[in-house]
Amino acid sequence: MKKWFQLSLATLLTAFISAASASDKVEMLPEDSIYHLNNEWVTQDEQTINIKSFAGKRQLISLIYTHCMHTCPTIVATMQNIEKQLPEDVLANTEFVLVSLTPNSDTPKVLKEFAEKRKLDPKRWTLLTGDKQDVRSLAMALNVRYKKSEDNEVAHSNVFTLLDEKGRILFQEVGDINKVDETVEKIVSR
Amino acid sequence: MNISHLKLVALSLILIGVSGSSSLMAKASEVSSPEGMQLVKGGEYRPLYMSKDSPIQSVNDFYLDQYPVTNKDFQEFVKGNPGWAKSEAPKVFVEKQYLQHWSNDGYPKALTNSPVTNVSWFAADAYCKAQGKRLPRVSEWELAALASETQADGSVEKDYKQKILMWYSRPSQKQLSAVGQNEPNYWGIYDMHGLIWEWTEDFNSALVTGESRGDSTIDTKLFCAGGASGAVDPGDYAAFMRYGFRSSLEAKFTLPNLGFRCAQDAEQNQ
């Protein structure tokens, strides 16, 4: 009888915890989590996802656009080099996110081609396009500055951001290929 | 109810009366605009820090709120959107000074018709979205603010820039006046200058680092395409101040002299 009681209590408790974590994911986020943005995006595989679904792992995130000729290739290359150099245990808990600053022209198909051309591992890399207001809000939350010109080019902050498992900003770094070692050390030590 | 309380009520009534009658006068001239908004005819705006040869931005016709959003307006919004209450808004969206001039029950009654301040960009953005509107873009705000009382382009008037600068050189008021106390500009819009700073949708398009020593020349490494910088009208000090102010902001900042008003595309209402 006692055993039966313990078992049912444990079952109840498990059910309670899992129900709470599913429905209260946003509410349970820390106050300084950018996942409070709670907005929806479309991936390179045409999946609609909520930004809070990135919770659970660390995310290295940057705002770029695929036809950018200058800084964006450096940011992406820097992030790829970081991926290569991270120790396996850290890498297992780290994912990479690129968000388009030109969502009108960066359709899921364009993002997919970009990812394939740059050999971005689909297991770890997510490319996002979405509503331009949501891009603006995300940039605001990451304190990224950008200015679009009429020829669909965008002058923008050349940075990427490391988010912790709950969407809090751990640090931001300028995309600079010479700083990879330094950044890897920083990620491992956090 | 004591005498001082009565006086306060009477004063508030007068203030409501003043802003009420002036809005009626303005409405008569623009029948087609959405309530509380005025049409601003589009035009051309040359971004301050672009070179003289850089492309001019064209601005479409748009509607702009006649007045900055008041404490009273904002309280209505908070009632319908409790997630934006003083004690509820997540810290990722607002600094801890968010609505610091409010008690937990709301704003001090004397500030009913004063512009709401101590609100972040996120809160202002959410407010405008809830009204089916949006924040004005920098180019739109600057175009509307260019108007004097009698002309769409006030800069051709001799004393115009000087008049605006006078305000910038005065210290902020301890207690903000009610909106709509001065003459409206050419578009029928009040308080573009002289009362508060205002949030714009894309204030983060000012490509400076916020570190003044680093900005004597823009650090081209920090910004893709950041090299395209220079100045158009070095005489427009007030515009430089606004540019500098915007550059120093982050979206979660909440400041006692920073409020907002909303805008809307003109096509939506045709």
d(CA A96, CA A112): 15
Structural domain boundaries in chain B: 37-265
pLDDT averaged per 10 residues, chain A (length 190): 54 48 61 96 98 98 90 88 97 97 96 96 97 95 86 84 97 90 93
CATH of B37-265, one of 3.90.1580.10, 3.40.50.720, 1.10.600.10, 3.40.50.300: 3.90.1580.10
A110 has a chain B CB within 8 A of its CB: no
Is B82's pLDDT higher than 80? yes
CB contact under 8 A, A158 and B223: yes
CB contact under 8 A, A139 and B204: yes
Contacts of B93 in chain A (CB under 8 A): 36, 141
Cα B199 → chain centroid: 5
Beta-bridged to residue A50, according to DSSP, are A40
User: CA B25, B135, B164: angle at the middle one, nearest 5?
Assistant: 60
Phi first, then psi, for residue A183 (nearest 5°) are -70, -40
| B9-67 per-position pLDDT tens digit | 444 444 333 333 344 344 444 457 899 999 999 988 776 655 455 567 789 999 999 99
**What mean pLDDT is predicted for residues B99-109?**
92
Is B123's pLDDT higher than 70? yes
CB contact under 8 A, A31 and B90: yes
End-to-end Cα distance, chain A: 48
* CA closest to A140 among chain B residues: B251
Say if residues B268 and B257 touch (Cβ distance below 8 Å): no
B23: tokens are: 């809005």
Residue B161: per-residue pLDDT: 78
pTM reported for the whole predicted model: 0.80
- Residue B235 pLDDT level (bands cut at 50, 70, 90): low
Residue B57: per-residue pLDDT: 79
A/B interface, count of CB pairs below 8 Å: 75
A38 has a chain B CB within 8 A of its CB: no
A84: amino acid identity, one letter:
K
Q: B236 or B24: whose pLDDT is higher?
A: B236
Contacts of A144 in chain B (CB under 8 A): 204
CB contact under 8 A, A145 and B206: yes
| A149-169 per-position pLDDT tens digit | 777 888 888 899 999 999 999
Q: What is the DSSP string of B186-220?
A: TTS---SSSS-EE--TTGGG----S-GGGGSS--T
Ordered by where they begin, the domains of chain A are 34-189 (3.40.30.10)
Q: How far is B124 from chain A (nearest CA, A)?
A: 12
Say if residues A50 and A38 touch (Cβ distance below 8 Å): yes
Describe chain B by its helix, strand, coil percentages, rounded to 5.
35, 10, 55
- Residue B244 pLDDT level (bands cut at 50, 70, 90): confident
**What mean pLDDT is predicted for residues B159-186?**
84
In this complex, the residue of B125, B223, B228 whose CB is nearest that of residue A137 is: B125
- Residue B194 pLDDT level (bands cut at 50, 70, 90): confident
Say if residues B57 and B44 touch (Cβ distance below 8 Å): yes
Residue B5: per-residue pLDDT: 52
Say if residues B259 and B111 touch (Cβ distance below 8 Å): no
Q: Is A78 exposed, middle or buried (0-12, 13-18, 19+ CB in 10 A)?
A: buried
d(CA B38, CA B66): 6
Residue A20: per-residue pLDDT: 44
Q: How far is A140 from chain B (nearest CA, A)?
A: 6
**What mean pLDDT is predicted for residues B69-88?**
96
d(CA B207, CA B226): 7
